[in-house]
Chains A and B, each alone.
Chain A
Amino acid sequence: MIRDITFGQFFPAKSPIHALDPRTKLVLVVAYIVMVFIGNNFFCLGLAAAFLILVTALSRVPVKMILRSIRPIWFVIAFTAILNIFYIQGEVLLFEWGFIHIYDRGVFTALFMAVRIILVVMGSSLLTYTTSPTDLTDGLERLLSPLKIFKLPVHEFALMMTIALRFIPTLIEETDKIMSAQKARGADLESGGLLRRVKALVPILIPLFVSSFRRAFDLATAMECRCYHGGEGRTRMKKLQMHAGDYWAFGVTILVFGGIIAASILLPKVY
């Protein structure tokens, strides 16, 4: 069933990582991605991996869930690795068959690239696992607010994002219900050619659109009833505030960042 698709993968828990300010997490995730890409030898990646393991342990998100985040992109990882194995040339020939030559450097680079992608994806998935969508858009809004001087409607973007994220599960549930209801009337969604299948979607899409509009109007009325009139002069119930934990997080990240820069300058490169 559609319901099985996990969307908005927030994993609620009480942990020091969950408690961090969303702005801190956003900035640090960017820093983390930069450091993974700066690192050019296995020591750097090891350091980044150790950092990731530390944060994961602190976040109390099950390791299984974090590993699941790579599932959708394993193909990309495999593809890059295979390309690297075949194309990169080095000194020691490991394997030769017809036009295929595999060198030691190719294998190393392939491994290196794969680990790098996995680290980046797992790290950024930690952000979405430990930050609720509302907090995330809140943090994004605050971080982007300097762009307001260029007349960018930052608040409106953030609000649109919040609403969209908020309604994804609702819409999935609604779709599920409508599909069941039409199936109960004998709608056949599984068989037939392309044209028939598209036609079979009409009884599902129309009620879905109708109810989305209804919801949109209801939401607009509810917002007006609470005197919403845009971001101008709006105060917040939950003010974003930096705590001691945030400064610690910055400190640790800067240390790891420094370590990776030092290691990538001092130690030999992989590629």
Chain B
Amino acid sequence: MPILETKELSYVYGQGTPFEKTAVDSVSIAIDEGEFVGVIGHTGSGKSTLVQHLNGLIKPTSGAVLLDGRDIWAEPKKIRSVRFEVGLCFQYPEYQLFAETVYKDIAFGPQNMGLSEDEVNSRVKSAAQFVSLKPELLEKSPFDLSGGEKRRAAIAGVLAMEPKVLILDEPTAGLDPKGRDVILGQIREYQKERGSTVLLVSHSMEDVARVSSKVLVMNESKCAMYGTVDEVFTRSSELAGMGLNIPQVTRIFLGLKARGYDVNTCVYTARQGRDEILRLLSKARGGAAT
């Protein structure tokens, strides 16, 4: 049974006003436990609105969200408990820091869960470790941290709730390439170690290709594609039609293939590209020798 599922999920902004707009249009997806799903789409494609449905921040206009097979809106009073199981980290999360110390800020989520003091303490420590925040930073004011540290502290605030499903909305927006790599690496490590389910919203195809096992493509409020990375990226011309570009490396290999070279086009990182070219070259050399 999928851990998280949406059934014909639709959401309409400002229903009954002249500004009515459908933000999510009958999206049906199923996410299995332990999956790493990349959610991509153009600005305004409805991806942020979609993920806010998954932890019950937005109530769908029609359709349902199932967590472990149960409709999360079956008991509207218990919607808070859903938010502890499906952790959502918003875009630019550093703007939500508020407590006097980093420790207290990370502890906000676990404390809301009503955990014991010891449990909160151990969760804060391990969450801080996951995002490699030095222990001495925990006693500092969050406003004294650097930009990258703030971002990581804010992500730790969601990790500390140890949600079954972790959703990150553009966690790397506005970071330099190094900071981006660090955060993506930490998220992937967290996912591997905990075996939790992760949804990563991004519009960087490179990021998504690097870390995800599945890709969900949103276009004009609809779910345009949902499948494994290979399945989705082979439909590159369709993606281009939606204003999305597949990774540069993949484009090179698709071009090579079109020009008659026998290459594997499921290449998403420079490293994979190097290996594939080396394979091709050695084969060509081997072919010439015989």
Contacts and interface: CB of A to CB of B under 8 A. Distances in A.
A210 B93 CA distance: 14
Given A185-B112, A186-B84, A207 B96 contact: yes
B73 interface: no
Contact of A207 (B84, B97, B112): B97
A258 interface: no
Interface in A240-266: none
A167 B157 CA distance: 29
B80 A181 contact: no
Given A183-B57, A184-B83, A185-B108, A177 B97 contact: no
**Size category of the binding interface on chain B:** 20 to 34
B52 interface: yes
B97 A186 contact: no
Interface of A: 4, 62, 177-178, 180-188, 202-204, 206-207, 210-211
Contacts of A4: 14
For B52, B90, B158, the residue with the greatest tally of chain A CB atoms inside 10 Å of its CB is B90
B109 interface: yes
Contact of B112 (A177, A188, A206): A188
Interface string B94-111: 011111000000001100
B87 interface: yes
A202 B105 CA distance: 12
B112 A184 contact: no
A184 B87 contact: yes
Given A184-B55, A184-B158, A185-B158, A207 B95 contact: yes
A51 to B, nearest CB: 26
Contact of A185 (B14, B95, B161): B161
A57 to B, nearest CB: 18
Given A178-B96, A207-B96, A184 B113 contact: no
B83 A186 contact: yes
9 contacts: A177-B90, A180-B57, A182-B96, A184-B55, A184-B88, A185-B109, A186-B109, A202-B98, A210-B95
